[in-house]
Amino acid sequence: MDGMYAVLVKMIPDVDPPPYQFAKDFNREKFFYLFWQFAIIDVLFFALVYHFLRHKVKMRLDRVAAWLSQQTIEGPQRNILGGLLLCRDDRECDFFLF
């Protein structure tokens, strides 16, 4: 067995880690305040994702890659997502979208 090593660590006596606090204080008012604060954004984001999945890829996640490959940054159908796949594998990005 070449290249096999073992590490032995001896604990320092009389040194305990600090005690962990298992108790949490939950405040119902603060929970609902934060829920409503972010609920509008979450609902909007969910609606956009649902619209994309429903109308663009017909609820099939295997079609997302094909949909992304059809996007272009030129012509009347140009889209900012067309430049998403142009800068990968450490290539130099030498294009402008605007």
- Residues of 56-70 as b/e, b for ≥16 C-beta within 10 angstroms? ebeeeeeeeeeeeee
Q: Is the pLDDT of residue 24 over 50?
A: yes
Using CA atoms, how far apart are residues 82 and 67, in angstroms rounded to an integer?
Answer: 10
| HEC-encoded secondary structure of 48-62 | HHHHHHHHHCCCCHH
pTM above 0.75, yes or no: no
- Compute the average pLDDT of residues 80-85: 74
- Compute the average pLDDT of residues 5-31: 80
Domains of the chain: which residue ranges? 28-83
The pLDDT, as a whole number, for residue 64 is: 80
CB atoms within 10 A of CB 82: 19
64, HSE (Cβ side, Cα atoms, 13 Å): 8
